[in-house]
Amino acid sequence: MHFFHHGVAIQPSVARSGNTFVARVAILEEDGEATSLGDLGHFANRQSAFAFAVRCGTAFADNEPMPLPPCDIRSKQAGSAHKTTVDLP
């Protein structure tokens, strides 16, 4: 599914990754330039991931700061200094 926001085509999507859902978004600007923002964050359900992808797409199109995901998931090997990190076994 895609929608238009200020002349920019935004295509939010959700992919399953283990027990979480990953938000993603692709953007096609008026001049034909395509941009993928990659994996935007991990969520407990598909609806939350999709809504976050929509928010990120519209923020990008409006040249506003990108919203932060609710958590940062990394493996134990990678480690992290973030307070919101969830270490996986």
Side chain identity, residue 39: D
3-state SS of 20-41? EEEEEEEEECCCCCEEEEEEEE
| CA–CA dist 33, 56 (Å, integer) | 17
The pLDDT, as a whole number, for residue 4 is 85
Q: Would you place residue 14 in the very low, low, confident or very high pLDDT band (cuts 50, 70, 90)? A: very high
Phi, psi for residue 43 in degrees, rounded to 5: -135, 160
Q: pLDDT digit string (tens) for 23-71? A: 999 999 888 889 999 999 999 999 999 999 999 999 999 999 999 988 8
Pick from 44, 43, 9, 47: nearest CA to 25:
9
